Copies of this chain bind each other. A is one copy, B any other.
Amino acid sequence: MDNQPRSEFDLIGRFFADLGAHRADVLLGVGDDCALLEVPVGLSLAVSIDTLVAGIHFFHDCDAEAVGHKSLAVGLSDLAAMGASPAWATLALTLPERNDDWLAAFARGFGDLARTYGVRLVGGDTTRGPLSVTVQVHGLVRPAAAVRRDGARPGDLVWVSGTLGDAGLALRHLREGDPVDPALRARLERPDPRVALGSALRGIATAMIDLSDGLAGDLGHILAASGVGAEIDLAAVPLSSAVASRIASEGDWSLPLSSGDDYELCFCAPPEQASLIGSLGNTLSCALSVVGRIRPEPGLVARMPSGESITLTNAGYDHFSDNT
């Protein structure tokens, strides 16, 4: 029903021409009815689509460069969790009005991350409406090597990368109007997807997921898909000193367990792979921690540092969140 001239919004496309890395497998990029892309023989296409909505997933006044970065990062994190190598992205951007400064900053954030990971923006749509960003990422992986959620087996160790809960803590500070350490804030607004780690874990991890909703819920997806359970040891969950202090003072584990946006990887692997995984972490300068073990019995049990064990529900572990 939009009878308005589209020319102004067509012009927006100029901010996104030639964005990202040059790739010879892009037969036709932005500017036709479709992009045309070449998938190499023997590889399958991995795709994931995600939307970030202003006021829900980012603050309306959030730095546009960070929004551009994060809108691509969340998709790259999904590719990483599959062990797929990033290739192309498409972008559907809805804006209340044209704002060239905002667009230039958004394109800078998106483009810098795209170049870092060899991704080309190959198509998009710009429309008028409440601010939101949808990005689809496309990656490549040998189908037999893709790491799914359904391969965890009893006895596998459960690993996570990095530290958990930092993004959630940054968000709490921002909501409370407190000053936020820039490094902590970057964990929320400019997550660095674990692309190299995801690829390195092909053939090693039995199951993998990225931590977008918190360890309890996301590990729960692996457990449900694999038909197994797990016990995790909260004392082994890797925490930054800021998050560790917050937990020590409040006794509340919701930051690592159920606040989202960490974009670390959680994966399972047989214990005999532990030393190989350890050396991968060293090679990639990426902290990797064992936080638990897969069990045949369904359900997720957390052993508290006090020694007490509690069973986390299967319904999203909402009792750990702020809203229940």
Contacts and interface: CB of A to CB of B under 8 A. Distances in A.
Contacts of A92: 49-51, 92, 134
Contact of A123 (B49, B88, B132, B134): B49
How many identical chains are in the complex? 2
Contact of A90 (B47, B130, B209, B260): B47
Interface in A60-98: 78-79, 81-82, 84, 88, 90-92, 94
Interface in A25-73: 27-28, 31-39, 41, 44-59
Contact of A3 (B7, B90, B208, B321): B321
Contacts of A91: 49
A171 interface: yes
Contacts of A122: 47
Nearest to A265: B33
A268 interface: no
A48 B4 contact: no
B48 A45 contact: no
Max count, chain B CB within 10 A of own CB: residue among A124, A129, A213: A129
A88 to B, nearest CB: 8
A120 interface: no
Contacts of A139: 34
Nearest to A137: B34
Given A44-B36, A127-B56, A49 B136 contact: yes
Interface of A: 1-7, 10, 27-28, 31-39, 41, 44-59, 78-79, 81-82, 84, 88, 90-92, 94, 122-125, 127-130, 132, 134, 136, 138-139, 141, 143, 146, 148-150, 168, 171, 174-175, 188, 208-210, 213, 217, 225, 259-261, 315-316, 318, 321-324
